[in-house]
Structure 1
Amino acid sequence: MNKIMIVEDDTKLAELLKLYIQKYGYEVIAVTDFDRVFDIFQAYQPNLVLLDVNLPKFDGFYWCRQIRAASTCPIIFISARSGEMDQVMALEYGADDYITKPFHHEIVIAKIKSQLRRAFGEYAPKLEERVISHHDLILYPERLELTKGSKTTLLTKKEATILEVLMKRYPKVVSRELLLEKLWDDQSFVDENTLNVNMTRVRKKLQEIGINDGIETIRGAGYKLVWENSKYETIHS
């Protein structure tokens, strides 16, 4: 049975959603402790999260980042904030869809079913897991994990995508334009600084597993992975 986690501080709406979704055979939990959203997520291990933007203390964007750093499970925002930038931010932080309030419950169910099919059902990838490696440095794009020897660090989707592109194209320089194309379908919505922020995070993840100065910025050209006397190989790609 697929498990759905609702993170909505309007208790009446959360309960109505819970009851409606349960009618379709799903197991549902509605979070009431909004200081422990990520802890509850880890304990419950849902197959999909319905997440509001406006929440006590930390907003939905914050919790989306926390969840996405540890899991690839579908995240659907449900929010009264219908602005274009709110929706863009949600998608950039790792959400899979965005529903604006007020909404029809049938739409929510349809989107839940669609995301579950893509993640776990007939539309889910059936290919053998991809592994990109060089000696003891291994990237698992689907798991969002990077390992070197006994050290492992978790990645966001965007961090994993950046590393995959850099590793596959090593030792060539990768242009900013190519990275933006890989990360976002529509570059017009992307602030130039967004790529800089993600690249900084990738550098920190490399440092966590013992690789300092692993990415070099080539002014006017882009970025390249720095690894002396080495060659990255793609396995099962």
Structure 2
Amino acid sequence: MEEDLILIVEDEREIAELVQDYLEAEGYKCVLAFNGVEGLELFFQLRPTVAVLDVMLPKMDGIELCRRIRGESNIPIIIMSAKKSETDKIIGLGIGADDYVTKPFSPGELVARIKAQLRRFKHLSLQKEQEQTIRYPGLEIHLKEYMVVAGGKQVELSAKEFQLLAFLAGNKGQVFSKEQLLENVWGYQHVGDANTITVYVRKLREKIEPNPSEPIYIRTVWGIGYKFEGGSL
């Protein structure tokens, strides 16, 4: 697993180094910046996993820095501030921060908050990745990349082959006529074009099925059309 990198932007060196010590004791890697401009430069250079920002920073304050980072990334951002009013917290959270810690704070509490934000971020990232990938035994369809892996090997599909497979796999168990597949994948209905589906299904089976003559993914429903199964034998 790639090591998490935490960007700490704090102009008080003692506080920055104290937070760094606590985080590194927990196994995190840290990088320090002591003004907002330097913090933004390090963000673009290193692309950290989490940003911990003080509000009162020289050259560029933490609110503007938070706004700039949020415009480029959805990583967790935690703001540290001596300002304790509800208005300040609302401003910080309103411009994209995920959490707000008031000074003086317990370094242990800050570490716990960073861990919580990381868990949430990684969980949401995993959910998003799973939503963009259709998985069945022996078959992965990566929707965003237009990529298919069958039997552990990447297979080359044309755009329409991919779209047909993704549509069928995204509607597991549902039977579609050739005309319905034409309408949903090609976007039209035309008498005489149904053979197009037959040709594309044959090509797909040759590319993704372990044994195209005995398909386990794209099944024929005689007299009706096709349906997608989960690859069980």
Question: TM-score, normalising length from structure 2?
Answer: 0.53
Counterpart for residue 131 of structure 2:
128
Contact 1:6 1:31 in 2 (8 A): yes
SS in structure 2 at match of 1:95 = coil
The one-letter code sitting in structure 2 at the alignment partner of 1:27 is K
Counterpart for residue 75 of structure 1:
77
Query: What is the aligned-residue RMSD (CA, Å)?
Result: 2.1
Identity %: 40
Counterpart for residue 112 of structure 1:
114
The one-letter code sitting in structure 2 at the alignment partner of 1:16 is L
Deviation at 1:2, TM superposition (A): 0.7
SS in structure 2 at match of 1:37 = helix
Deviations along 1:93-120, one digit per CA (max 9) or x if unpaired, are 0000000011111111110110000111
Contact 2:40 2:69 in 1 (8 A): yes
Contact 1:47 1:73 in 2 (8 A): yes
The one-letter code sitting in structure 2 at the alignment partner of 1:53 is V
Deviation at 1:124, TM superposition (A): 4.9
Structure ID, larger Rg = 2
Contact 2:36 2:61 in 1 (8 A): no
Change (3 A) 1:65 1:129: farther
Counterpart for residue 49 of structure 2:
47
Contact 2:82 2:103 in 1 (8 A): yes
Counterpart for residue 14 of structure 1:
16
SS in structure 1 at match of 2:131 = coil
1:222-237 matches, within 5 Å, as none
Contact 1:118 1:124 in 2 (8 A): no
Deviation at 1:14, TM superposition (A): 0.4
Deviation at 1:123, TM superposition (A): 8.3
Q: 1:63 aligns with which of 56, 62, 65?
A: 65
Deviation at 1:57, TM superposition (A): 2.3
Task: Note if 1:37 corresponds to 2:39.
Answer: yes
SS in structure 2 at match of 1:78 = strand
Counterpart for residue 200 of structure 2:
none
